[in-house]
Amino acid sequence: MSRDADRLSIGDVARATGLGVHALRFFEREELFLRPIPRTAGGQRAYDQADVEWLLLCNRLRESGMPIATLRRFAHLVRSGPGNEPERLALLEEHERAVRDRIAGLTASLEIIHGKVVAYRRHVRDGTAAGVWSPTPSPSP
Amino acid sequence: MSRDADRLSIGDVARATGLGVHALRFFEREELFLRPIPRTAGGQRAYDQADVEWLLLCNRLRESGMPIATLRRFAHLVRSGPGNEPERLALLEEHERAVRDRIAGLTASLEIIHGKVVAYRRHVRDGTAAGVWSPTPSPSP
DNA sequence: GTAGAATCTAGAGTGCAATCTAGGTCAAAC
DNA sequence: GTTTGACCTAGATTGCACTCTAGATTCTAC
């Protein structure tokens, strides 16, 4: 038997996805893969390219704030085959909404922070104190 | 001595800021306030409006991802009075950069997620399967 | 065939940011 | 004056998502 060239070790997948080997084992325990990861005769995990692609999407979902529990629900839906596409769609739409809300919240905070930055720049440049916090009695950071 | 009408209890501040009373005590232990919060004769915390305003800014900074440790550094700078405005500015500029990066990352993820949503909508509407994950052999979520 | 790197399992530990518990003390309304 | 609700401290616990440990096994290169 020849070593299957499409067979990826856990280290290969770690390099390809940026996840650590510990995280990959953790993902498997948490049932986040789309299939049971097969093993070599010696018991080592044998991934393939589709696993990597799924993990890259998982990275996007995780980075954008999807909790592990939701990711697991999505993985389970995909695992259980065709027929539940409306549920998958609902889950993704919900997440898209969450991400848009998060961006809106960050944008609102950003405006406030940028206002402070502008006030401090002015203060540092020419000594006015509007909008920056002085010690007592009434701080205004 | 008459009860100072400007004196706010921990419960008042909790209501005004959305933070819990536990969180407010935690913030104090972590030295996130701009001053030592004074106490009544009986030992209860007596906040004022400036504390509330500071906490509202803290909320913005925390919501936008600033870690407690950084918030503490900022609070310490403000507490130590005038003279370190360039440092405060640098800290805020750094955070502004971090927030912009976070928004950019989320926006990139959002595009991918939205692409999946569009693919699933099409699939659910008229049965094509491009871009959605089928069970085997090569999933494409 | 053997040295060294990579992998295995089960379970413990980490870091952050709260949040809660227990056992009291204080204060406002009746 | 007493009940009731808010508040106090110190420390334990929670939840999430990893991350690491220990000790054994497997794989690769020489």
- Please tell me which residue, A78 or B2, carries the higher pLDDT value: A78
A103 backbone dihedrals φ, ψ, rounded to 5°: -65, -40
Q: Contact, B92 vs B73, CB < 8 A?
A: no
What's the rounded Cα separation, in Å, for the pair A81 and A65? 25
Determine whether the interchain pair B106/A102 forms a contact, defined as Cβ–Cβ distance below 8 Å: yes
Residue A137 pLDDT > 50, yes or no?
A: no
- The verdict on a CB contact (< 8 Å) between B110 and A99 is yes
Report residues of chain B scoring pLDDT below 70: 1-5, 130-131, 133-141
Q: What long-range pairs does A94-98 form, CB within 8 A, spacing at least 24?
A: A95/A61, A95/A64, A95/A66, A95/A70, A95/B113, A96/B110, A96/B113, A96/B114, A96/B117, A98/A65, A98/A66
Q: What is the pLDDT of residue B135?
A: 54
In this predicted structure, the answer to whether residue A45 has a pLDDT above a threshold of 80 is yes
Give me the pLDDT at residue B81, please: 82
CA B17 to CA B62: how far, in whole Å? 13
Check if A2 contacts B (Cβ < 8 Å).
Answer: no
Residue A134 has pLDDT above 70, yes or no: no
The reported pLDDT for the residue numbered A2 is 39
Residue A93 forms contact with B (CB below 8 Å): yes
**The pLDDT of residue A135 is above 90:** no
Statement: residue A67 has pLDDT above 80: yes
**For B81, which residue in chain A has the nearest alpha carbon?**
A135
CB B77 within 8 A of CB B34: no
Percent of residues, chain A, with pLDDT higher than 90: 82
- Phi, psi dihedral angles at A75 (to 5 degrees): -60, -40
* Mean pLDDT, chain A, integer: 91
Q: At A5, is the pLDDT very low, low, confident or very high (cuts 50, 70, 90)? A: low
CB pairs under 8 A between A and B: 143
Strand C bases, protein C-beta under 7 A: 6-9, 11, 16-21, 25-28
- The reported pLDDT for the residue numbered B26 is 98
DSSP-assigned letter for residue B3: P
Place of tokens 């697991």: A72
In angstroms, the CA A34 to CA A76 distance is 7
Predicted pLDDT of residue B137:
47
Query: Contact at 8 Å (CB) between B132 and A57?
Result: no
Per-residue confidence (pLDDT) for residue B85, from 0 to 100: 93
CB A140 within 8 A of CB B88: no
Helix (H, G, I), strand (E, B) or coil at A92: helix
Give the length of chain B.
Answer: 141
Number of other CB atoms surrounding residue B30 within 10 Å? 13
- Residue of B86 and A132 predicted with greater confidence: B86
Instruction: Show the tokens assigned to B125.
Output: 């509407």
Quote the pLDDT of residue A52.
97
Q: Which tens digits make up the pLDDT trace of A51-66?
A: 999 999 999 999 999 9
Global confidence as pTM: 0.89
If you average pLDDT over residues A38-51, what whole number do you get?
Answer: 96
Residue type, A53: E
Q: Which of A12, A108, A141 minimizes the C-alpha distance to B74?
A: A141
